Amino acid sequence: MAHVPGSNFDDISLCLRELAGDLSIHWTGANDGIWRTLDQQLWRLTRNPTLVLNTISASALRVQCEVPEFRALVQAMMAGRQRALAAPSWLQGLPAAPALRSVAYFSMEYMLGESLPIYSGGLGNVAGDQLKAASELGVPVTAVGILWQQGYFRQEIDGEGRQHALYPVNDAHEMAVEPLLDANGNRVRLTMHLRGLDIWIRGWQARVGRTRLLLLDTNDPANPVPIRLTTGQLYGGDSEMRLRQELVLGIGGWRMLLAAGVEPDICHLNDGHAALAVLERARSYMQAHDVSFQVALAATRPGNLFTTHTPVAAGFDRFAPALIARYLGGYAEQELGLSLPALLALGRQHAEADAEPFNMAYLAVRCAGAVNAVSSLHGQTSRDIFQGLFPRWPTPEVPVGHVTNGVHLPMWMSWRMRAALSPGAQAEDCIGDGAVDVPNAVAQASDGRLWDLRNQARTRLIVFARAHQARSRAAHGDTPERIASAGQGLDPHRLTVGFARRFASYKRPNLLLSDPERLLRLLNHPKRPLQLLVAGKAHPADLEGQQMLQRWHAFTRQAQTQGRVVLLQDYEVRLARHLIQGVDLWLNTPRRPWEASGTSGMKVLANGGLNLSQRDGWWAEACEGEVGWSIGDGEEHDASHDAIDAEQLYTVLEEEVVPAFYQRDAEGLPQAWLRRMRHSMSELVPRFTAERAVRDYTERYYLPGASAYLARTRLDPGRAGRLAQVSEQLRQHWPQIRFGSVQVQPGASAHQVELSLETGAIAPEWLQVQMYADGIAGQPARVLALEAVPGGQAGAPTRYRGSIPGDRPVEHYTARVIPSDACGLAVPLELPLIAWQR
Ligand SMILES: *Cc1c(COP(=O)(O)O)cnc(C)c1O
């Protein structure tokens, strides 16, 4: 794969291509000399190595390659990359590692860098950062996504503050992708049957260190025009378009993996968009082993992991049954051997409810071997949301765990900060975090040094913000005076607050604007002013979000703001990086619990920025101690509570944030601020990295999932069939279960329980009888197993007995029965059966 860096022209140009094509490399001011040399301006404006390389002529490149310094630079970077890729990985060090051969990771979007604009925001950020972390940890991930021809929309804000959604075309020659080839060197091009039509899906791949991202594309001239446009706009189009996109991603994606020679043990769904992949996985297992859909699902299910990202049921993708019938009816009947009602039932809470839409998250849960949310609080919220799929199960037992998101430090930490905190790091160590130990480095750094770094970072942000604003104004045809005055109200010494996010109403982007006079007083304080940088896109269909943007625009245009609030247009990865690296304070004001995790606030941590946020998502578990500031009371409220949150927001800014920043000691250092900075950096950075998240995923889900999948397939090919049978029989006979008498002998230290149970056609070994008491005073619920009393007569009720702790009154306990471990199925995820005494 890798080329030994030689020094002739062909070698050097091959190296350049490899370097340009590896999205895991972080190009920084310390190591981007190659691209600066080739085309300084193009590099500065786009930071896209593929574009630079494909723009320079062969003859000009040849001349460059004759320059010894240039060759040396390329060779050094190449060697650094090879060192990183060849280094022993974290996974290799785990004894269980061989069990995990391959993980397929599905996501609608990926934010990997400027040279691959196929993302919208947070979801793509999580996917991109995790893919980079997986490469570094040696986790064998192959990611699957879509090569969006236009990506997500680009934002223009006009003189009236109206947002315009623009769709520049992504040219494959200007992106870090190459055609996906099969083992014979042929371009991978699949056909997929869609409503009486065979459509073509072309394959591409992007390289991310040791991992690959396979990308699907329907823009094949052989396709009818509407089909070609399926992979046009990310989150664009109507419900039918979305379903088509998800068919391409899920079903086409699984086929693309197989065509590329990947045989995944684990199928990780990053959100429900790609949930159809689990059907296609089952289909291909059916075909290979000549079994029914139920058996194929039982076999493959432990290898499916579903990560949910939405904290509200309305956020799930749902499709009208008629649409599912049209697009998937034939597939279900002919390929899966499922009737349409049986397929619909997989995506519904109530199988028989004809009007109930088909919910992709429900499909994912029903076909997953494990489900996780993306923060602790989101885990709780998700257990509520999915409770309906586990009728009569107590909410805390709804099988949704959590892995809190994290961010990839090399992607987001400023390289200057990194160089300052790990002076030993080389510029060529271009992959990975170079083991920068932030807590230790911060402990070693003096207050003066830390504050210097902050001042420099803030200054660079102001310079960037001015240039960004000036370019936007020039692009609008503003007057030379207005262009020259862009960002001139900003001052590099002032407390600089950043607020950038999707303008969706739950994010409450206008909370800070709810009392404009009070905000003006903060901005215009004679001694302790703050300044504010705002950015964000509202979805083109979200008119309310666009109005909120317009209000900010109008506010910035008021003379009283003195240019101290700047609205920066087109929030994307580059703008995000500048903002999070430079701000002193990052503000986040979502309505709890709507922010499933959030990641932007994590990005400021390693850069020394502090968070002021609602106790929601990741911040709800991070905000302990002096690490930043919080608003909200830790409870959930509707919009009528916004005024109280706003009041608190202003008060915290006025009484805590501003004084902490401006109160200086004899050396001019803000001691209170620095103390928080140290806490935030040393306590939170290590907890909220993508490395930690991927290690969690690997240890808690990928490795156990791969073993369970192996146990149901290659190790014991008949097992899935037996499990499917047990599952079917239990479901069928479950209603025959009846509790007979339950007798309890109360005692001081323990109560003695004895009960009888009619089990109908179900053999008692399939059942586990338990005494259950709800948790009280923050304690978890109690579940205590009873033992079957031996020697019962055939056909007579089975008797059970046991003793339960006497510290809770007898009335707190209820008897219940669930399928036992002997069934071999995950309960309740695979088999949500339960019966209660009352
Ligand atoms: C990090 C990031 C996001 C996610 O931010 P949250 O507000 O925390 O969800 C969105 N967009 C861009 C461009 C980002 O860099």
Residue at 216: amino acid letter: L
With a 6 Å cutoff on the Cβ, whether 124 touches ligand 1 is no
Inter-residue contact 565 to 531 (CB < 8 Å)? yes
Residue that wins the pLDDT comparison between 650 and 313:
650
The whole-angstrom separation of Cα 511 and Cα 531 is 16
pLDDT-derived band at 435 (thresholds 50, 70, 90) equals low
58-94 tens-digit pLDDT: 999 999 999 999 999 999 999 999 999 999 999 999 9
Task: Give residues with Cβ within 8 angstroms of 73, minimum separation 6.
Answer: 33, 34, 37
Q: Is 120 in the pocket of ligand 1 (CB under 6 A)?
A: no
Task: Please work out whether the CB of residue 501 comes within 6 Å of at least one atom of ligand 1.
Answer: yes
Please state whether beta strands 178-179 and 189-194 pair in parallel, antiparallel, or not at all (unpaired): unpaired
Q: Is the CB of 598 under 6 A from ligand 1?
A: yes
Which domains, ranges and CATH numbers included, belong to the chain? Answer: 9-86 (no CATH), 100-405+695-712 (3.40.50.2000), 446-688 (3.40.50.2000), 727-836 (2.60.40)
Residue from 112, 600, 607, 619 whose mutation best tests the ligand 1 pocket (most atoms within 8 A of CB)? 600
Q: Which of 49-86 are b and which e, b meaning 16 or more Cβ less than 10 Å from the residue's Cβ?
A: bbbbbebbeeeebeebbeeeebbebbbbbbebbbebbe
Q: What is the pairing mode between strands 163-166 and 178-179?
A: unpaired
User: Is any atom of ligand 1 closer than 6 Å to the C-beta of 571?
Assistant: yes
A 10 A CB-CB count for 788 gives 17
Helices (H), 47-148: 49-55, 58-65, 68-86, 122-137
Ligand 1 centroid distance, CA of 310 (Å) = 15
Q: Kindly state if the Cβ of 508 falls inside 6 Å of ligand 1.
A: no
- Can you tell me whether residue 833 is helix, strand or coil? coil
CA 145 – CA 496 distance, rounded (Å): 37
CB of 509 closer than 6 angstroms to any ligand 1 atom: no
- 513 within 8 A of 552, measured Cβ to Cβ: yes
Task: Measure the CA–CA gap between 122 and 111, rounded to whole angstroms.
Answer: 9
pLDDT at 179 over 70: yes
Q: Is the per-residue pLDDT at 343 higher than 70?
A: yes
Query: Which atom of ligand 1 lies closest to the CA of 598?
Result: 8
Q: Which residues pair with 269 in a beta bridge?
A: 106, 306
pLDDT by residue (tens digit) across 18-65? 999 999 999 998 899 999 999 999 999 999 999 999 999 999 999 999
Q: What pLDDT does residue 425 have?
A: 75
- Residue 117 CA to ligand 1 centre (angstroms): 14
Instruction: Quick: pLDDT tens for 520-567.
Output: 999 999 999 999 999 999 999 999 999 999 999 999 999 999 999 999
Ligand 1 atom with minimal separation from the 575 CA: 13
pLDDT tier at 1 (50, 70, 90 boundaries)? very low
Give yes or no for residue 125 CB within 6 A of ligand 1. Answer: yes
**Does residue 405 have its Cβ closer than 6 Å to ligand 1?**
no
pTM of this structure: 0.97
Q: State which amino acid sits at residue 540.
A: P
Question: Percentage of the chain surpassing pLDDT 70?
Answer: 99
Q: If DSSP codes are grouped into helix, strand and coil, which group holds residue 96?
A: coil
Q: Ligand 1 center to residue 123 CA distance, Å?
A: 8
Structure tokens at 51: 């574009």
Please give the structure tokens belonging to residue 280: 């296609």
Note the maximum CA span of the chain.
97
**Taking residues 320-334, what's their average pLDDT?**
96
Q: Within 10 Å of residue 360's Cβ, how many Cβ atoms?
A: 25
Smallest CA-to-CA distance from 294 within 361, 327, 339, 358 is with 339
Task: Read off the pLDDT of residues 670-689 as tens digits, 9 standing for 90 and up.
Answer: 999 999 999 999 999 999 99
Average pLDDT over residues 104-112: 98
pLDDT tens digits for range 114-134: 999 999 999 999 999 999 999
What separation in Å is there between the alpha carbon of 372 and the centre of ligand 1? 21
CA separation for the pair 646, 640 (Å, rounded) = 11
Question: pLDDT digits over 182-196, tens only?
Answer: 888 999 999 998 778
